[in-house]
Amino acid sequence: MSALFTGWIGAFALSALTLGAAMTFVAYMTWIERKVAARMQNRIGPYEVGVPHGWLQPLADVAKLLVKEDITPRDADRVLFNLGPVLVVVPALIGFAFIPLARGLAIADHAYSFLFFIAFASLTLLGIFAAGWSSNNKYALLSALRMAAMAVSYEIPLILSLLIPVVLAGSFRLTDLVEAQRGLWFIAYPLVGQLGFLIFLLCALAEGNKSPLDILEAESELIAAYNVEYSGIKFALFYAGEYAHTLAISGLAATVFLGGYLGPSFLPGPVWLILKCLALFLVILWIRWSLMRFRIDQAIRLNWMVLLPASLVNLMIVAWWVAGR
């Protein structure tokens, strides 16, 4: 397998394969979410396009958005307005390049791949703020400012919780983090593993704009968030970026806490990684469609008063234990 993907042609083929698989998963995540939401709320959900379960509905949605009129507000900053959707979706897709599908099978298996993943994942905030500011709409700007406050706040405990596997493995390379879990997954470490994973999951919900920490849109005061002035394919790119970010974060969580591609030998490594990603995505959907939303003050207080101190104490305990062993 490693010989097949050697050289520029192999790297290009692996990149195209990963990008195509990621975009396909992103499209069908909308279908999975609508099905799960319909089941939890006793509704039918997509059922007409692609009998028997509406499995062609994502393709119909994409076709519908492609033919819709692309409207740009008269007083908008056209450069940033058009650049916003790209800045949201591209960094989220780049994150897939650093996730190892198997040992020696990653587009960018760099010694600091963990740090690169975090850096690119953070860039989506620039696209959101550019969209909110350039729309020349006060509701879009307020929504973007809310997202900036949330992202800056929750980024700190998220990174601190991710540093726990890094300290345990002694490496910033994601492949090394997976290999260090051959004996025991990091989530199975008593208390510190479970607490680190829980903090990471809560912070990922906030950064991915998922309930109960989705405060970007509110029908009573903010209408439809920072992308309210967008239509057609640009609107679709924002949603693709949101789902791609959620999928990439699920892949990172599966890699650093759940053993990544490791699993019983009757299935190949990439299949185990995909199954773990889907399991995490279903957990996120279960939380989203089960719990009520926080207010912005409650969400910010939860971060600074609970998650940040807990993540700091958890990291210090792990560092003390690793230094003493």
Q: What is the DSSP string of 250-287?
A: HHHHHHHTS-TT---TTS-HHHHHHHHHHHHHHHHHHH
CA angle 193, 197, 200 (to 5 degrees): 140
Give pLDDT, residue 1: 47
Q: What is the pLDDT along the chain (325 residues), one digit of tens a residue?
A: 444 455 667 667 777 777 777 778 788 888 888 888 888 888 888 888 877 788 888 888 888 888 888 888 888 899 999 999 999 889 888 888 899 988 878 888 888 889 999 998 888 888 888 988 998 888 888 888 888 888 888 889 999 999 999 999 999 999 999 999 998 999 999 899 999 999 999 888 887 777 777 777 666 665 667 888 888 888 888 888 888 888 888 899 999 999 999 989 889 989 999 999 989 988 888 888 888 778 888 888 998 999 999 999 999 999 999 988 7
Provide the phi-psi class of 226: left if phi over 0, else alpha when psi is between -120 and 50, else beta.
Answer: alpha
Instruction: Give the C-alpha distances (Å, rounded to integers) separating 130 from 59, 74, 135, 284, 303.
Output: 28, 16, 8, 27, 25
What pLDDT score does 62 carry?
A: 85
CA–CA dist 43, 36 (Å, integer): 10
Q: Which of helix, strand or coil describes residue 167?
A: helix
Q: Is 320 exposed, middle or buried (0-12, 13-18, 19+ CB in 10 A)?
A: exposed
- CA contacts within 13 A on the Cβ side of 15: 13
Give the distance from CA 275 to its chain's centroid: 16
The pTM is what?
A: 0.86
- pLDDT value for 309: 95
* 239 CB-side CA count, 13 A: 19
pLDDT of residue 8: 67
